[in-house]
Structure 1
Amino acid sequence: MAVKRYDPKIVFAPGSSEPVRDQLLRLFRQSFWRDGQAHAGQSLVSERSLSASLGIDRSAIHAVLEELSATGYLEKSASGRRYLLRNKSDLCFGKSIGIVLPFAFSKFINSNQYNHLRIQLYCGITERASSLGLGTILIELPDAKETLQAMDDFLSSRLPHLAGLIHFGSRGFASDPILGRCLEQRSLPQIMLLSEAPQYSHVGTVTFDARGTMMAVAQFLLSSGQKKLGVVFHEATFSREVKATMANLQECVEMLRESGMIINEDWIIRLEGTGCCNGLPEKMKKFLALEEKPDAIWCRNDFQALETIQLLQEGGLRVPQDISVIGTDDIFESKNAGSTLTTLQLPRYSLGVAAVDMLIEQIQNGVTPENKVKIFSPSLIVRQTTRG
């Protein structure tokens, strides 16, 4: 009686720009996830059969199957001549989700301004991964000035041990070919948090709704007759490989104007340099000297909002009686300031959880329109720094 063998029935695209190895790895992994439960323990059809059906040289098939065996997607028979399909629940056994940090972990976790927000994202990832039996490993990419060969060596030593990558966004360089090289790896599912990589169609995005955020601010202010708005914004540097959500001042201003707000150029406070509040005291002096001032100020983050309130009060304005102030992020200090801050709250822990779920979905089914983008809506937390 003939032994039944497993045929993954993958559809290879010979004209694709995706390298043959990467395409085969991706297609085989998807098939194994799809069929691992029903066909666990079955032998894969022969390399000769796969070579004939796919029109690919047998040596290329062999190299990919060896890699899949070495990384736990297949196991070899006792004779070492056949590849056996593993149970679906074991396909990520011994693997970890790589968390790609924008800089060294010590700086990432100890930053005075954003560490607690990053920790919320980080905990969402690690706790969700742990609940699924997956480990997590922190990855700091080589310096942007390193050669692409150095990056290739770095990737080849790590990718076989990873189920996928979750990126914490850009590293702040105008151009980052090292990050780009990482994002090019189609054989490995990758997700961007709070940003997107528009050049790489296979990379997923978990972020928040920037337009919805601006509309929430506008609708709240307009409902209480506050139509004139000032903006405090520190524009960060992001690489051409990655576009961060709500990182561009002009885009945010246009969305607010489209939502019905009046924003004069004199009411826009642009901050530059290191530190999100760098230069704010000097620019606030010019703002306070204006004859006409807005009804409210929206700040890109809560640190800017809290310092703005202090500077406005020192300049003789009452918050919120004379001018309202809205922040973004809902940091710990915003709840415990002398006058608790109205702010936009982002569900960062949930974003981290969603990134892991999207990664697993892409491992199982490949990238589809349904698992390519996940967008969360922020909540406006109304406290004491706004009127109405």
Structure 2
Amino acid sequence: MTQQTKYNMVKDQITNWIASGKVKPGEKIYSENELVKMFGVSRHTVRQAVGELVHEGLLYREQGAGTFCSSTANLTSTPVQGERQFKPLASNGKNIGVITTYISDYIFPSIIKGIESYLTNQGYSLTFACTDNDIEKEKQCLQTMLDRNIDGLIVEPTKSSNFNPNLHYYLQLEQNNVPYLMINQFYSQLMPPHIIMDDEHGGFIATEHLIELGHEKIIGLFKTDDRQGVNRMQGFIRAFREHGLPFFPDMVLTYTTEEKDGSLIERLEKYFSSLSKPSAIVCYNDEMALQVLNMLRKLGLSVPEDVSIIGYDDSFLAEASDVKLTSVSHPKMDMGTEAAKWIVSAVENPSTNSYSKVYEPELIIRNSTASRLKVKEA
């Protein structure tokens, strides 16, 4: 039996448990150890299967608690691109729109789980949609939400560092007295109610950690069509300034949404062919950090023995590989819950005005980073 067959066996069986109702929304699935014994496979195979189901939105993880069946696993597809609907058992007749850049990928299932859990408990129906971080798709999503006469909207901005041509849809929401809240970032032209992370500080503490480990030649990889990446880059540069380290050419490599799957890694690989190689890399997120990890392995370099890596978001990907990633925390489910609480308050109490909440990031240290001095001695 091949490794791929074993992986499919585990994934298909868990999917069947969900589809048949053996595992119900909100229920915890078997632990990694139990799944390993049950299927007679390796821990890596179990993690790969469960990780993909998390990606697809069928499962979600809660740190320290385990892996659970997602209520969004029962969402039904609608004819609108990237949209799903969910109705609670007891509805109050009100509908909240939720627009994110992605629905079933990366950290978004956990954010959506927080939103969905609170809103459905309050009797609200939900309409989910995703933009794939594409301005034209965001336009379509906003048009649909307005046509459906939603009572409130939670939205993650699309390409938030650029001017957005869809601002008039948000102004129309205001004219219609429909409250909306932005998460992860916000459009500065609107200054709407928002819940975000202090991404500048997150970039700073990630870089400072490497500096304190003795690294001086550190490269930063940042996505610049979202403000999160721009702010993380600012924190990266501030750490160099505050610690008096010299700047050097190409210490920052930037990319856009469209470039994340190939060209950046190719550029970085060429950098490692030079004589002056970096000893550490700060990545925009955990997804990019895993791509970097795979690239370094192909080049015959080890992490953290040759190069230290830091990710961002502390997603499930941070522990998906044998090298566990040092990463900056993201509140994920708690952010979703807080967003849902505010939108309910704004719908039920129209006098609710401006609001902002900023989460302070923390650095979760794992084994992808090491002291530069210890590496040299080894």
TM over 0.5, yes or no? yes
1:189 and 2:182 matched: no
Quickly say closer, same or farther: Cα 1:235–1:307, change in 2 above 3 A. same
Partner residue in 2 for 1:220: 209
Once the two structures are superposed, what CA deviation does each residue of 1:92-141 show, in whole Å capped at 9, x if it has no partner? 93112111345xxxxx445xxxx141111111111111222222123579
Whole-angstrom CA distance in 2 between matches of 1:341 and 1:151: 35
Q: CA separation of 1:253/1:222 partners in 2, compared to 1, >3 Å: closer, same or farther?
A: closer
After superposition, residues 26-37 of structure 1 pair within 5 angstroms as none
For structure 1, list consecutive stretches of 5 or more residues without a partner in the other structure: 1-91, 103-107, 239-243
Tell me the equivalent position of 2:361: 378
Query: In 2 relative to 1, CA 178–282 (structure 1 residues): closer, same or farther, beyond 3 Å?
Result: closer
Q: What CA distance in whole angstroms lies between the structure 1 residues aligned with 2:141 and 2:213?
A: 54
Q: Partners of 2:298 and 2:144 in 1: how far apart?
A: 53
With over 3 angstroms needed to count, the CA separation of the structure-2 counterparts of 1:231 and 1:193, relative to structure 1, is: same
Please provide the CA RMSD for this pair: 3.3
Kindly state the Cα deviation for residue 316 of structure 1 after the two structures are TM-superposed: 4.0
Partner of 1:43: none
Judge conservation of contact 2:324–2:366 (CA < 8 Å) in 1. yes
Equivalent pairs: percent with the same residue? 22
**Structure 1 segment 292-331 matched on structure 2, within 5 A:** 292-331=276-315
Do residues 271 (structure 1) and 259 (structure 2) align? no
Q: Does the 8 A contact of 2:232 with 2:284 survive in 1?
A: no
Query: Quick check: 1:234–1:277 contact (8 Å CA) kept in 2?
Result: no
Q: Report if the CA contact (8 A) 2:153-2:181 is conserved.
A: yes
Query: Is the 2:207–2:236 Cα contact (8 Å) retained in structure 1?
Result: no
Measured against aligned partners, the alpha-carbon deviations of 1:178-207 in whole angstroms (never above 9, x if no partner) come to 453234422111101111122224x21111
SS where residue 185 of structure 1 aligns? helix
Aligned with 2:157 (options 149, 162, 169): 169
SS at match of 2:344: helix
Post-superposition Cα deviations, 1:188-238, rounded to whole Å, max 9, x if no partner, equal 11101111122224x2111111122022213322332224321122333x6
The residue that corresponds to 1:387 in the other structure is 370
8 Å Cα contact 1:345-1:380 kept in structure 2: yes
Return the alpha-carbon distance in structure 2 between the equivalents of residues 334 and 275 of structure 1: 22
Q: 1:121 aligns with which of 102, 111, 129?
A: 111
Q: Which is worse superposed, 357-366 or 128-137?
A: 357-366
Contact 1:101 1:168 in 2 (8 A): yes
Distance in structure 2 (CA, Å) of the matches to 1:139 and 1:314:
37
CA distance 1:334–1:134, shift in 2 (3 Å) = same
Of residues 200, 206, 217 in structure 2, which corresponds to 1:211? 200
Give the conservation status (yes or no) of the 8 Å contact 2:201–2:232: no
Alpha-carbon distance in structure 2 between the residues aligned to 1:262 and 1:361 = 49
Structure with higher Rg: it is: 1
Deviates more, 1:281-290 or 1:359-368: 359-368
Question: Partner residue of 1:353?
Answer: 337
Query: Which is further off, 122-131 or 326-335?
Result: 326-335
Q: TM-score w.r.t. structure 1 length?
A: 0.61
Equivalent AA in structure 2 for residue 196 of structure 1? F
Contact kept, 8 Å, 2:223 with 2:229, in 1: the verdict is: no
Q: Aligned residues, how many? A: 274
Code of the aligned partner of 2:364: I
Give the C-alpha shift of residue 155 in structure 1. 6.2
Q: Is the deviation greater in 226-235 or in 348-357?
A: 226-235
Deviation at residue 255 of structure 1 after TM alignment: 3.6
- Name the residue aligned to 1:232: 221
**Is the Cα contact below 8 Å between 1:299 and 1:326 reproduced in 2?**
yes
Change (3 A) 1:299 1:277: farther
Shift in CA distance, 139/209, structure 1 to aligned 2, threshold 3 Å:
same
